[in-house]
Structure 1
Amino acid sequence: MSSIQQNAAGIVLWSWDFGDSNTTNTVNPSHYYLNPGIYNASLIVTDSSSCSDTINHNITVDSLPNAQFSVSDICLGYSAPVSNLSNGTSGVINAWSWDFGDGSSSSLENPNHIYSNYGIYNISLSVGDDNGCSRDTTMEIVVYPNPIPEFTAPYLCLDDEVNFTDISTIIAPLGETLISWAWDFGNGSSSSDQNPSVLYDTSGSYMVSLTVLDLNGCVDSISNSVIVYDNPIADFEYSESAFNIVEFTDLTLAGSSAMWDASWSFGDNSSATGLTVQHEYNVAEYNSVSYFTICETVVDANLCADEFCRDIEIESYSLWIPNAFSPEGHGGGDETKFLPKGKSLYTYHIKVFDTWGNLIWESKAINPDDGSPLEYWDGRVNGIMMPQDVYVWEVEANYSPVLEWQGKEYNRGKIRKTGTVTLIK
């Protein structure tokens, strides 16, 4: 109740009755009514002569408007779902004042507001009616951050199964765990796996999209253009350039890239890299053909790969000198004669010497079909059997006019063109 101004000259007593059982003797009181209604307020004033007078007024106390609204938590980027539920009781609401807690406000009855940042905000609403009465209320709203979708793909090559990896993240502490993934690979196929695989059967550019959803119901998407490249087609040719040495030349047909690297597996636990390579095969057995599976793997600048394998045969370039024989042994096999074994010899000259350095046997004969030694020493000189002893041999041989036999390998890697043979009786 507003105070009533009175002429205070000579007045010594003020008796107020507010009509709600509350009184006071204050000259200019203030009074708050607890309930709406019409109250008969009276004032009795008394002067120093004990004379008094009374005045009465009806005071109308209007009900306050009911300030009320509903709101629910949202994801960033969406309009705050406020619903104004305010209503007037004694008057008609005709004013609304909103404060969204982020520096934004509105005087609309039912405004729309989109927060520019995630966080926790207090929304306040103050309403006023045509009686001049007002009331306010405040509610909290949580604006959740959206998940941040992201993915990687190591490489995309035609007819290769490509593994897409989800690396999406959330923003703590308001962000919640991701619960679903929706992939569109741009080729008519899709997946709900977190880390899916897809096989592209046509090269070209594809728009791949990923949509992720978290426990708060917040969702976001990302789209990236990916290129599926054609694979190279591996191929090679080879030629035997020298003694057990083979040269391999890459003949790969380019895919989407004109640049690639080649790695080789030679089938004998050895390897090399390069577009043109040489490899020397160690074929230990004389008079034999060895088969090897050669594989070339090419990887181009787009990391697309192909492999091509083929079998090749390598004829032995070798010369083996026996270290003992028994001319008088039984059976008549190779153990009864001193017969060097070899293949692909171009020239050949072997000599055998006795203890005193006398030449007692020699041969230059080789088989024109396969280059193998033809003649052997039977342990005799001029028809007479030599005594049991250790004899010295010496060999000069070539596999071609420029490719010389290097000699026999002994302990600790020593190679010599001389050696000994024991004649056993």
Structure 2
Amino acid sequence: DSVSLLTVSVTDCNLQVLQQVFPIGNQTQFQADFEICTQTINCEASFIAEPMPANQQQIGFENLSFPVSYSTYWHWDFGDGSDSFDFEPVHEYAQPGIYNVCLTMVDSMAACTSTFCLEVWVNLISVDCEAHYSFDIQGNTVTFTDLSTGFPDAWLWTFGDGTASSEQNPIHAWNIPGTYQVCLTIYNDSTQCEDTFCDIVTLGDTLPDCHADYSYAQVQGLTYAFTNLSTGQPDQVIWDFGDGTPFSYETNPVHTWEQAGIYHVCLAIISNLTGCQDVMCLYITVGDTISACQADFNFLVDSVPGNTNHYWFIDSSTGINISSWYWDFGDGTTSFIRNPDHTFADSGTYDVCLTISGQGNTGYCSSSVCKSIITPAYHNLGGQVFAGNFPINNPDFTGDTALVRLFKKSGNRLTEVARANFWEYGYYFFIDVMEGEYVVQADLTPESNAYTSFMPAYSGDVPYWQQAQSFSLSGGDVFDADVVMSALPTMENGPGLISGQVVCIDNSLVDLTERIIYLLRDGNIVSLSHTDTLGNFVFSGVPLGAYTLRAEIAGKYSDALAVNLTEVDNQAMLLQLNISSSNVYNIDDTDSFVNAVKLFPNPATDNINLSFN
């Protein structure tokens, strides 16, 4: 008559064994309920990006997301209009640049979604970074403003009281008034650039300040006498004469240099009574120096939309013994890099100064030069891309994407400053575009449904850059810079084949990828082709007849290459289509003398006719 027991056991999420015991009687079914998992599973998307060694524009992405399971859905947005659903994709970018890449993970089993974005620098020269900040004191609370350059994405502040912050612009309150050293360290994960800047913050009621100050006078030759003019009850002084000799602790020292030059002489004072410290440094010219160098520099403003008030400075100083460069940008920031770049926080006029110095076999040299810079105004530019009478994807979605290129116009020269893919309701826009004249070109991407149905066009509705209507960004934003792509005529199928390569005969640097080649008949465009990465192009199924080939590359002039397809010879292959930065291709060295030339009409309003005898 012993009692039998039924034990049911399970293991929960924390690896604890849970049990329920039932006496066995006449019943045949038992119900055991357990709560085996009360924790929730969170997912977090994350990745890193590295360029491939063989191709710097090909980026490999390492997926660091958690957790990873068969039920997880992945979506990558590469920031250039393309995407992927692979776990760890490799993506090749068409152009160098900075792209905002986002990874979204959706785990249906865990019922969680996470998105992580990272700026990826593609085939760009590493950008120097420089930490700097400003601050505003209100009692014991200080508001800090990051003024660093070089696009940092991580900040570490130490406030001198044992606390720290990772915010970009923190607000910090001290418990006790006093003098604190606050340091900002910045870091850019893409460029691996790191820099630190420290400054002193004084709070509340402190003891009287001390101020280092001195004067000097020449005694004889290379010997100078120094007079300490410091205030604040200093009881310790330290002199550094800038020539590598030991420090002097005299109050009013006399110093002799071994050779002439310009020396950085510093006086440091310390008051043990008040705990105050201060330093004063001056450049002192000792003896007769040799003017063996001349400071000079050039500067370029960044014309890429969005990079407001960004400048490159190029040292063009002369001299054979220059070893030091000191830049003062006129906004409170400095640099010791020979060829720095700098972004002004605010628009305005700045006096930028460069001081160079060096020590060589000819002696010491030093020179300074200042130039005034007026930052440009910036506006927004936008419009719609039309395919025929309607904007793409408007009012109905047509499955088309437009590659829109923005060119800055200077005389007859066009320089591409930005490009992007647009598809939402046919609208395109560029933000913070520098003032000036601009031309816009639109072309459908190969993935578009109407890729072969419409011709690329420039501002207005013209296929050639010389005819493009320019837009002036001088008085404000422009949002009606529309581009109308005309329908491409349907060409009958024929037995002809035309192929060749675009060649830049003046050796200027030109990207020949995805460039437009027009096929014309009787002066009218009848077909077009796009080049590959080497500038090769092909027209197949061409009817017999006489044609002209022209390359359409903004800012470049194209030869008009005649092609005649006949029944006997219906293929024209390995052609060379010449382009150049000038519309003059060659000059015959042979002297020519014209006895009589008739020019009409005169005066002329359009074309001029010349008649030679």
TM-score (norm 2): 0.18
Give the structure, 1 or 2, with the largest relative contact order (CA under 8 Å, sep 6 or more).
1
Larger Rg: 1
